[in-house]
């Protein structure tokens, strides 16, 4: 990625020397350093158990760093401004049934901004805008369990967009989606004007959406670079239990369109 000049706004996400051990003593992160500039789309790749989810839960202060720091758009993640941090970091969890807990889509999307104190027409406008961004505006009054899986995933994205986050964090966004839903979600994500950190195993999807990728392995960032280069390095992938799908050749894929 091009380096950011000095006058740019602070990076959307800055992780410095982050280490964390679970209360049972199992250490998951051993000093993670990661900077994501505003507007970037970065894929966070890594095998199961690499600490990806643990890292994600540090970004909005669910876990508290054992050592090191996390800063979101200049604001350090700490107890006293947790509410603002959680508004700035929008996490879309893997199972939309966990994320959508209100009786109707509209109320679910309204939950975040309403918790932040928005009411009335302003709240309604925010909900409509977020649902329109993911193409689900006409489903506002449906209960989430009457939607298809792909639709629920899109509504889950809307629930987070409604908070107008600084950075969108997606946990395995392509899991359980059929190819059409996958493509629809990719189109939606590409159209968003927001910083994206995408946690995934789905290497082609990472390549399609994210110009830059980092590999998290055994609790540290093992590689950081253009997605195409990382995926072209079979030795690097092999060392971290990552594998391309059968027949997929990164060098044969046209360069993804930039923003």
Partner 1 sequence: MGAGHAHKLYRHGHSPVHALPPHCKLAAVLCFVLVVVATPREAVWAFGLYAALLAGVAAVARVPAGFLLRRMLIEVPFVAFAVLMPFVVPGDQVHFLGISLSVPGLWGAWNVLAKGTLGVAASVLLASTTELRALLLGLERLRLPPMLVQIASFMIRYGDVITDELRRMSIARRSRGFEARGVRHWGVLGKSAGALFIRSYERGERVHLAMMSRGYTGTMPVIDQLTASRAQWTAAAALPLTALAVCLLGWTL
Among 12, 54, 71, 99, binds partner 1 (CB under 8 A): 99
Contact pick of 71, 159, 195, 227 for partner 1 (by CB under 8 A): 159
151 binds partner 1 (CB under 8 A): no
Residue recorded with tokens 């990164």: 250
Is 3 or 48 the residue whose CB approaches partner 1 more closely?
48
Give the nearer residue to partner 1 in terms of CB position, either 30 or 93: 93
Among 41, 52, 58, 87, binds partner 1 (CB under 8 A): 87
> What are the strands, taking DSSP E only, across 172-240?
195-200, 212-217, 220-226
Sheet strands (E) in 134-242: 167-171, 195-200, 212-217, 220-226
Looking only at Cα atoms, what is the longest distance across the chain? Answer: 56
Pick from 2, 26, 141, 258: which binds partner 1 (CB under 8 A)? 141
Return the SS3 of 242.
Answer: coil
Candidate list 12, 60, 217, 227; residue touching partner 1; CB under 8 A: 60
Pick the closer one to partner 1 by CB: 46 or 112.
Answer: 112
| 142 near partner 1, judged by CB under 8 A | yes
The answer to whether 146 contacts partner 1 (rule: CB under 8 A) is yes
Please tell me whether residue 241 binds partner 1 under the rule CB under 8 A: no
CB 164 within 8 A of CB 49: no
Would you state the structure tokens that stand for residue 233, as one six-digit string? 């390095």
Q: How far apart are CA 94 and CA 47, in angstroms?
A: 16
Is 138 a residue that touches partner 1 (CB under 8 A)?
no
Q: Beta strand pairing status for 212-217 and 220-226?
A: antiparallel
Q: Are 140 and 105 in contact (CB under 8 A)?
A: yes
Q: Which among 88, 86, 73 is positioned nearest to 12, based on CA atoms?
A: 73
Residues at the site binding partner 1, with contacts judged by CB under 8 A: 57, 60, 62, 83, 86-87, 89, 91, 93, 95, 97-104, 107, 110-112, 114-116, 119, 123, 141-146, 159-160, 163
């Amino acid at each position: 990625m091009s380096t950011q000049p000095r006058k740019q706004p602070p990076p959307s996400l800055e992780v410095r020397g982050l280490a964390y051990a679970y209360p049972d003593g199992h250490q998951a992160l051993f000093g993670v350093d990661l900077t994501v500039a505003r507007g970037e789309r970065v894929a966070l790749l890594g095998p199961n158990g690499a600490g990806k989810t643990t890292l994600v839960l540090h970004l909005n202060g669910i876990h508290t760093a054992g050592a090191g720091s996390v800063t979101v758009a200049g604001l350090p993640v700490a107890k006293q401004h947790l509410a603002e941090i959680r508004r700035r970091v929008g996490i879309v969890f893997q199972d939309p049934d966990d994320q959508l807990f209100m009786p109707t889509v509209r109320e679910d999307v309204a939950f975040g901004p309403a918790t932040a104190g928005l009411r009335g027409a302003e709240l309604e406008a925010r909900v409509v805008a977020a649902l329109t961004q993911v193409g689900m505006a006409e489903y506002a009054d449906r209960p989430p369990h009457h939607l298809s899986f792909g639709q629920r995933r899109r509504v889950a994205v809307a629930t987070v967009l409604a908070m107008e986050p600084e950075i969108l964090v997606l946990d395995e966004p392509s899991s359980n989606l059929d190819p059409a839903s996958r493509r629809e979600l990719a189109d939606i994500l590409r159209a968003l004007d927001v910083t994206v950190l995408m946690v995934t195993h789905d290497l082609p999807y990472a390549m399609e959406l994210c110009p830059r990728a980092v590999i998290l392995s055994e609790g540290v960032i093992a590689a950081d670079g253009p997605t195409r280069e990382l995926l072209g390095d079979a030795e690097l992938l092999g060392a971290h239990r990552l594998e391309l799908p059968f027949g997929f050749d990164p060098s044969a894929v046209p360069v993804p369109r930039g923003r």
